[in-house]
Structures are given as structure tokens and as C-alpha cells.
A = this chain, B = another copy of it.
């Protein structure tokens, strides 16, 4: 199923064009235009497509039916993270510059590269196969998929499928495709404290309340040495079982490699297996952003009048994001938090079985295209809305696999990029996967 030069040219053109359209879900920038462009691309490939409105950004949905007995649902998202800090980008995040064999752009890896590669690869294979395809492209994944659940629920008949191929995979440090059997969950909140109408001269500090100090007091009760101190937070955590821990041994990235790709000088653990088990098996509470008072150049002597924190909780099975939100609220009340909590995203964690037709087809096709054994992990370190497909569609076969990124792809960071070769490999991997999935009975 190797690609012809002509095919590659067409695929790359479509990919770069999509990258040149911003689609930042946090601000809404370019979302409409990008959804339109995507729909046109799908139609041009013979996929019957539509733009479906939600309470937020629209879903782009498509179907390619060959009258087969099985149906695969392919999930991706066309939205991207914000680009700041812009000054740290070497080239414009929406210029989609190709240099040194890599494509640089916001969304190059997460998730437009994977989306386009899998779209081309699956459409190519389906023409000779026995599997019907459904495509669900979300526009709000990077803001926690606030409307996906109701979309899937409302369209559960239309979305019916035997298996779901999620995004969120990549190549590992050895260039091996990752097959991810589950996801961490997410709870994203913002905390705001306000003590007045304006910043005050800091000579008033002895008699007024400072929302920054109040925020720090509250935050300091949440985490200690990386551990979450909210009572009950760890109660529902299901530890990795023996098979899952064994699985992780194949994910044999060294601490040095990790530090290199993350460009940090220290990691929380030295032992490689401890690192892996933390990365995939432990929940976290992260400050994503905090701001209060004067943050400009030089000095300004003020008591701020408001303080704001954005915070995410990455959750593992069997933690329930709604329950964690309740625990957080109860904890904040207990410590006397006098502010507001805004829920900004909520996703279930989950792990599925490695013993499915879908996973076997992913393994066989990976070996065929990359000439290497793929690496299975029990769940992603990140988050995506895998849980709701299992829950709402009753799908048993589900995995994240076939991604264009690598450990240097800088998802969510400046200079996001992928190896161009890996884009075409992902096209081939998808075609091979569809072939294996449709022609073999396990």
C-alpha cells in the first residue's frame, strides 16, 4: 500500500492548508473557517459530510459507507491550543513552515496531522474493504470537550459502530507506534478571588485583605510534594495491575531521553519504571496559570484586588471527575475559600482490554508498516473523551492509535512540529489497519 508521489503531494497540500487556518477553541479564532475547509476536504475524498452545530463550536461529521458488516468510528479534533508565548516560536505558528524534514505549526501534531493522515489512509483502504467509516471531528477538544457528550448522546443511533479509533497516540522514543488502551480523565477549574474594585496603594496592606495571599493560602492546602491533599482524592484510584505494569516496561524511555525531549533538568523520579508508572498511573493537580496584581516591567506597589488560578486535575480509573469536583468544593469550603469556582472541563478516565480485534489489527498493521512491534500502554498520560464513547455508544473496542507526533513534537507548546515522513507513515498505517480490521476475523 505504499503511497505514490502524486498521492503524497495531494496529502501534504491538504495538510499544510489545514495548518494555515488557525482554529483556537479557547478564543474561537478561525474555528468556523476551519470547519468549513475540513468539510470541503472530506467531500473531495468522497466522504459524505456535514457541519453540525452544538452549544459551542461545531462538529464536522462524515460517513463513508461500503455496505460492510462492520463500522469503524474515527475520532479526531480540528481545534488547537492557543499559541502563546508567541515570541518563543521560530516561525509563525500558522505559516506551516517545513524545514529540516519537519513541519512546524500549531496543530502539526495535535491534532491536524493525525486527522488528515487518518482521513486519507482510511478512505484509500475503505474502497477495497468491507468496513464502513464514520468520522467525528470535534472543535472543542482543547477546552475539555464541553459539548461532545451531549452530541454523542443526541446522535447515538447515527454514530453506532463496532470500534472507535481515538486520537492521542504518537511514536515513542524508539520510533515505535503507541497503542493506547485508555485515557486519563480531566477536571479543569478556575478559581477567582475578588476583594475590591481596584488595586490599592500597598500602604493599605495592614488593613485590607490581599486576594493573592488568600489564593496562596488556599492553594497551599491542595498539593504537597506533588501529592494531592484533598481528602478522599485517592480513594477511587485503581492501581495498575501486573499485566499493565509489565506492558509499561516496553515503554522503555530513559530519564535522560525524557529530560531531553521535555528540555528540563530535573524529573521527580530517577527510576525509569517509577517514572512510567507515575506518568500513566498517577493522578495530578496542576496549576496551569495564576495571575494577580501587577505583572509588568519593573516595580509597582499595589495590593491587588483580584486573583485568578486555572487548574487541571488529571484523573485515573476509577476516579470520577464529578466526584472529584465535589471533593474539591467541599475542601475549599473547609479551608474557608472565599471566591468562585468555575468548572471548565470534565472527562472520565478509563482503560479497555488489549484483547480485541481492533487492537490486534492495530498491532499487525504497525508491524507491517514500521517493521517494529508497537508499544501498548494501559492509558494515555493525557486526556481525550474516550470514556463517553464507551459509555454512550456501548462500544467495546476502542484505542488511541496511529499518530503523527513524536517525543519532540511540543504539543501545546511553542514550535509544535512533526517529521514529515511520519505523516505519510501514518497514512499507510491507517490503510493497513483498515485492511487488517476488515479482512480478518479474530
A residues engaging B (CB < 8 A)?
25-27, 81-82, 84-85, 88, 142-144, 184, 186, 188, 190, 195-210, 212-213, 216-217, 219-220, 223-224, 226, 258, 262-269, 275, 278-279, 282, 284, 286-304, 307-308, 310, 312, 314, 344-345, 380-383, 410-414
Contact among B27, B201, B263, B267 for A198, CB-based, below 8 A = B263
Q: Which residue in chain B gives the minimum CB-CB distance to A283? A: B206
How far, in whole Å, are A304 and B205 apart by their CA atoms in the complex?
A: 29
Known: A208-B267, A303-B286, A412-B201. A344 touches B291 (CB 8 A): no
30 contacts between A and B (CB under 8 A): A26-B296, A82-B300, A144-B299, A195-B266, A197-B263, A197-B264, A198-B410, A198-B414, A201-B382, A203-B279, A203-B381, A204-B262, A204-B381, A206-B381, A208-B267, A210-B286, A219-B220, A287-B292, A288-B294, A288-B299, A288-B300, A289-B292, A289-B293, A290-B291, A290-B293, A291-B291, A291-B295, A295-B308, A300-B412, A301-B382
Contacting residues, chain B, for A303 (C-beta < 8 A):
286, 288
Contacting residues, chain B, for A282 (C-beta < 8 A):
206
Contact among B217, B262, B304 for A220, CB-based, below 8 A = B217
* Contact between A202 and B290, CB atoms less than 8 A apart: no
Given A207-B258, A301-B312, 9 further pairs, Cβ under 8 A = A26-B298, A142-B300, A195-B266, A203-B314, A203-B381, A210-B286, A287-B304, A288-B304, A299-B345
How far, in whole Å, are A266 and B338 apart by their CA atoms in the complex?
A: 12
Known: A196-B262, A290-B212, A412-B199. A344 touches B299 (CB 8 A): yes
* Contact between B312 and A201, CB atoms less than 8 A apart: no
* Contact between A413 and B381, CB atoms less than 8 A apart: no
Known: A206-B282, A220-B217, A301-B412. A294 touches B382 (CB 8 A): no
Contact among B208, B266, B380 for A264, CB-based, below 8 A = B208
* Contact between A299 and B26, CB atoms less than 8 A apart: yes
How far, in whole Å, are A26 and B294 apart by their CA atoms in the complex?
A: 11
* Contact between B268 and A288, CB atoms less than 8 A apart: no
Contact among B26, B84, B195, B284 for A206, CB-based, below 8 A = B284
* Contact between A202 and B293, CB atoms less than 8 A apart: no
Contact among B27, B188, B216, B382 for A287, CB-based, below 8 A = B216
Contact among B197, B289, B295 for A294, CB-based, below 8 A = B289
How far, in whole Å, are A203 and B206 apart by their CA atoms in the complex?
A: 41
Contacting residues, chain B, for A286 (C-beta < 8 A):
202, 205, 210, 301, 303
Which among A85, A294, A308, A310 has the highest number of chain B CB atoms within 10 Å?
A294
Contacting residues, chain B, for A186 (C-beta < 8 A):
301
Contact among B212, B288, B291, B299 for A143, CB-based, below 8 A = B299
How far, in whole Å, are A220 and B403 apart by their CA atoms in the complex?
A: 42
- How many Å from the CB of A400 to the closest CB on chain B? 12
